[in-house]
Structure 1
Amino acid sequence: MSVHHGPANRGRRVLRTAAPLFVREPYGPPAGGAIVLHDVFGVTGYAEAVCRLLARQGRLAVSPYLYYESGGPAFEADELTVARAHMDSLTAQDVAADVSAALNYLAGRTVGPVLVIGFSMGGYLATWTAAHHAVQAAIAVSPSGPWAGMPPPEVLVADRRSPWLGVVGESDLLVDADLLGMATSTPGPPAALERISGAGHGFYRAGRPRYDAEAEEESWRRICRFLQKNTLP
């Protein structure tokens, strides 16, 4: 594993760099880039595993350490209250700058089209990315948010500049799937919402209470189908 700093300063802080990145290189020349946006627990082993998976598929994969200023890259399942406090300490300006910096880093590596995938709070950020940047596609798994000063996810979906896929458990009480589903019918790049039967919020988190292995496997199948049909070059 190698860790690199992003290439740009946060827009409103001249002396502080953007979030450093967890980076996984592909075995050969990159066939694209990927940004993995972590959930409330930070850059956990799961976020790193998703980066490794995408690197095996030929992408240069990065995951920004969004908590780098407030303490620690990741938290355990029994530290949810602490993790939420760190999530709440992030500002709209900072998370926007960190996502933009990760995109700039990949652009500087000339990797080609960039996929963005996020989980829970990272799913919201992936949706924000789809509305503000022309990326290959944005995938939002269990998207929850927003932060103060940022619009609700259904508004971002309606304003998308990139293909967008939401993946939501049918029992997820933290996501308004009906509003997201309606937003996908608005004009723009392809958009879809996939509901995973029986799954709750955070169903993808191995080793955590709501983990559902079958739901996680099914979600990846649907993600792959969407990417095969609905990505920008």
Structure 2
Amino acid sequence: MGHLSHGPANRGRRVLQTAAPLFVREPWSGVDVRGGVVVLHDVLGVTDLAEDVCRRLARDGRLAVSPYLYYERGGPAFDTAELAVARREMERLRGEDLAADIDGAISYLKGRGVSRVAVAGFSMGGYLATWAAAHLDVAAAVAVSPSGAGAAPWDGLPPLEKLLPEVRAPWLGVIGERDPQALAAAPEGAVVTVPGAAHGFYREGVDPALWERISAFLGGV
């Protein structure tokens, strides 16, 4: 993979570059290493949420990375008040570039000696995690509030309901009860339904019991 001459402002955080620069969290000292996870951000970018998920995974003994998918424009992160701006940024992304960025993150983890790599994503990242489970060498995929039901986020890619039958790894969907399109697209028995929640519910914080369910799923593959 080529290296870039620029990257996002990292605010003192450790950032490595592959196809896209990576936010990296090492497994906690003294914890048995249990594999690696690529965390795929939502439309807002690598926010505190994505970083916190990487930290939680590292605490559980996983080497966790989150690629800055907006890196070509400086790797911006947005807040919820800037959702319309963030969506325009998302629409500029191209499927082939995203595929290279995800593959680069997986290659980085495998280059670190991690034999089993999972992917976990939120909203657009949940769609991408599902795509990765269908097309790349991953051990498992978690899609939290995945987008793409009815129509993929980007031209040239299939909608979520057509992508899911192609998945080749264990897949877990974590979907809000008030997100009927995503619920209808997901296979029976592979979904945790969050009562009363709408799309994007995770931005309000991930319930500890829900996190335990995700962690247990990842630990079982």
Instruction: Report deviation, 1:218.
Output: 4.1
Match of 2:171 among 159, 164, 167: 164
Q: Distance in 2 between matches of 1:33 and 1:179?
A: 27
Instruction: Report deviation, 1:204.
Output: 1.0
Q: Deviations over 1:110-150 (max 9, x none)?
A: 12211210000000000001101232210000000221111
* SS of 1:201 mapped into structure 2: coil
Instruction: Report deviation, 1:4.
Output: 0.3
Q: Distance in 2 between matches of 1:105 and 1:70?
A: 22
Q: Unmatched 5+ residue regions in structure 2?
A: 1-12
Question: Which residue does 1:115 correspond to in 2?
Answer: 118
Change (3 A) 1:149 1:217: same
Match of 1:217 among 196, 208, 212: 208
Change (3 A) 1:71 1:85: farther
Match of 2:186 among 180, 189, 194: 180
The answer to whether the aligner puts 1:92 opposite 2:99 as a matched pair is no
What TM-score does the superposition give when structure 1 sets the normalisation length? 0.81
% identical aligned pairs: 57
Aligned residues: CA RMSD: 1.8
- AA at the equivalent of 2:28: Y
Matches within 5 A, 1:63-212: 63-145=66-148, 146=152, 147-172=154-179, 175-181=181-187, 192-205=190-203, 211=204
Question: Which residue does 2:14 correspond to in 1?
Answer: 2
Matches within 5 A, 1:30-69: 30-69=33-72
* SS of 1:55 mapped into structure 2: helix
Q: Distance in 2 between matches of 1:196 and 1:60?
A: 27
What TM-score does the superposition give when structure 2 sets the normalisation length? 0.85
- AA at the equivalent of 1:148: D
* SS of 1:69 mapped into structure 2: helix
What is the count of residue pairs matched by the alignment?
A: 203
